[in-house]
Amino acid sequence: MTGGEELSAAGRGAVWWHRLRALICVLVGLYLVAPLVIVLIISFSSAPFLSFPPPGLSLQWYDNLFGNPVWLRSLITSIEILVPTSILATLLGTAAAYGLARSRLPAAAAIQGFLMAPVVVPVIITAAGIFGFFRHIGLNGTLPGLILAHTVLTVPYVVATVGAALSVVDARLEDAARTLGASPLVCFRRITLPLILPAVLSGLLFAMVTSFDELIVSLFISTPRVRPVTVQMWSNIRGDVDPTIAAIATLLFGFSLLALLADHLARRRSAGGAR
């Protein structure tokens, strides 16, 4: 009898703990999502200033965003930076990750550290460094300059995701391919790349999102003529604040969400296909 009571007491404790845990999860989730939801709602506001809750709904800020040449120009600049940056970062990051994963160099750890530095070092320091360096070589305020700077910032994400995938790929598969007659290049294209492709795509998406979202370095090296959307938002917030900023934030949010979703789908497909 006593055994049964103890058991039910323990069971009751477990149920309470379970409920408490669920409550904590919901609260943390709300805390994380609430600001996003508020911004999203404000972007559809009819009021000419940032107020919550909005007095009515309207699409005027989206109209303003795409109608106003300043906003449109900065959006296009962002994309002009983002596309080459993400391609460059993916190529370089994948090559670096492959080299590091298969190398027996004692310096490999140090090289990896250098590559990862931009995510560890405070961005403001990286930004100041890039600014100083670019001033010497005349890259400040140019599109190539922004692309190069963003590449430095996004390569670590590619190195990390591709490196993780490579550590799971059995190096003996490459040995086997080589004994079967595949040159190193063919071996990479036919064996290694297909196996790490989800991670490469994941790295590409990370690089795109990171570049689109980057503010601090861009703030240092952009000029009013070449100004990505984040910098435009920054100057807008400090000047005349209107809900256009909420509309652009919602766009950024939607872009990240799509990237995450694409990443998830790519991983799901690869898990179902070849493993």
Residues that bind another protein (CB under 8 A): 170, 172-173, 175-184, 186-187, 190-191, 194-195, 273-275
Between 83 and 186, whose beta carbon lies closer to another protein?
186
Between 12 and 190, whose beta carbon lies closer to another protein?
190
Write down the least CB distance from residue 75 to another protein, Å: 39
Is residue 39 a contact partner of residue 252, using CB atoms and an 8 Å limit?
A: no
Between 92 and 197, whose beta carbon lies closer to another protein?
197
Between 1 and 180, whose beta carbon lies closer to another protein?
180
Is residue 198 a contact partner of residue 189, using CB atoms and an 8 Å limit?
A: no
Is residue 158 a contact partner of residue 112, using CB atoms and an 8 Å limit?
A: no
Q: What are phi and psi of 57, to 5 degrees?
A: -110, 150
Write down the least CB distance from residue 110 to another protein, Å: 20
HSE-up (13 A, CA, CB side) for residue 170: 6
Q: Hey, what are 176's tokens? A: 């086997």
Write down the least CB distance from residue 89 to another protein, Å: 25
Distance CA 56, CA 76 (A): 30
Write down the least CB distance from residue 179 to another protein, Å: 4
Write down the least CB distance from residue 106 to another protein, Å: 12
Between 188 and 206, whose beta carbon lies closer to another protein?
188
Helical H runs in the chain?
2-42, 60-67, 69-102, 108-120, 123-137, 143-168, 171-179, 184-187, 193-213, 216-221, 229-238, 244-273
